[in-house]
Amino acid sequence: MPEIPRTPVGLLRPDGARLALYPHGPRDPDLVLVLAHGWQATSAIWDKTVEQLSRPRTLVVRYDQRGHGNSTTGTARPAMSLLADDLHAVIAATAPGDVPVVLVGHSMGGAAVLELAAARPRLFGDKVTGALLVATSGGGLDLAAAGYPLPTRLVGLMRHVMASVCVYAPGVALRLHNLWQPRLSTQPPMDVAGRWFKALMRHDVTELDALRRIPVHVLVGEDDPTVPPVHSHRLAAQLPAARLHVVPRGCHRLPTRHSSSVVSVVELTCEEALQHGGGGSPRAAEPDGTGTGAGPTAVHTPLA
């Protein structure tokens, strides 16, 4: 494939946000692969994925989530449903006609995929023919919510306080952050990060019927401290035909720290999506687990 593009193509949204898109690949693809990154990241987390993919006929579309990277924030209130609308716009702009689409979402990007499936179910099975959910969750991320033990709720409350400081006193928050760890220039402003953190805490998707119509893979790091593996196990349990892949000793930043594992499952998802688009149906997961070559260990564990 040609060199990874660094100059974005702009996509204007109704509230004034301009999304930065980085399409990479042929003009007449057999498949469009859309890669959505997570909170406080940019489309650059997918660079290793793009470099290692062996799909010359696939158009790979990376993009910066609004308020992140080279995408502007816009005026709309941050919400996962807003990111889902953005994702739908990216699909419409880059995959016209009958070209099938595979969605890959990491962390907050995965939440956007889930929200899109809930909001626009007819898109899945016809246009979107495969999905990979990486280190993400359908909800329940707010540790301050009722049901958690008191020590956990106190941690969650402190996180909310810190997010509020980021929103209402970003200068103070930045100075405090830099005392602990210098903030990367690629990360969004503190107030933007705080608002999107609060949006993630409100995230809750229970309607997953659309995803049962397509091949779905769920990928998580065994030692992910940011979105613990239980969230991925829950998603896999709600999607009986999905396959859950656990990366041994894997952390949250799988696309950059465990890129070969991500690529192997992306390739598998694309192959199954093309078969599904040709009239196939989602394959039931193997109950005893299977391997995926040099990639992660693949298991499917139904949980209550």
The residues spanned by each domain of the chain are 9-141+203-299, 150-200
pLDDT of residue 281: 53
DSSP 282: P
**CB-based burial of residue 296 (10 Å sphere; 0-12 exposed, 13-18 middle, 19+ buried)?**
buried
Side-chain half-sphere of 205: how many Cα atoms within 13 Å?
31
Predicted pLDDT at 287: 35
Tens place of pLDDT per residue across the chain (304 aa): 567 888 999 999 999 999 999 999 999 999 999 999 999 999 999 999 999 999 999 999 999 999 999 999 999 999 999 999 999 999 999 998 999 999 999 999 999 999 999 999 999 999 999 999 999 999 999 888 878 888 888 988 898 898 888 888 888 877 877 777 787 777 898 999 999 999 999 999 999 999 999 999 999 999 999 999 999 999 999 998 999 999 999 999 999 999 999 999 999 999 999 998 765 456 544 433 333 334 454 444 332 2
* Distance from C-alpha of 139 to C-alpha of 108, rounded to nearest angstrom: 11
Per-residue tokens: 73: 């924030």
pLDDT at 131: 98
Helix, strand, coil shares of the chain as percentages rounded to 5?
Answer: 40, 20, 40
Residue bearing tokens 């991500």: 262
User: From CA 35, how far away is CA 61, in angstroms rounded?
Assistant: 6
Output the pLDDT for position 289: 37
What pLDDT, on a 0 to 100 scale, did the predictor assign at position 8? Answer: 93
Q: Shortest CA distance to 83 belongs to which of 101, 71, 99?
A: 71
What is the per-residue pLDDT for 207? 94
Q: Can you identify the CATH homologous superfamily of domain 9-141+203-299?
A: Alpha/Beta hydrolase fold, catalytic domain (3.40.50.1820)
Among 59, 58, 79, which Cα is nearest to 67's? 79
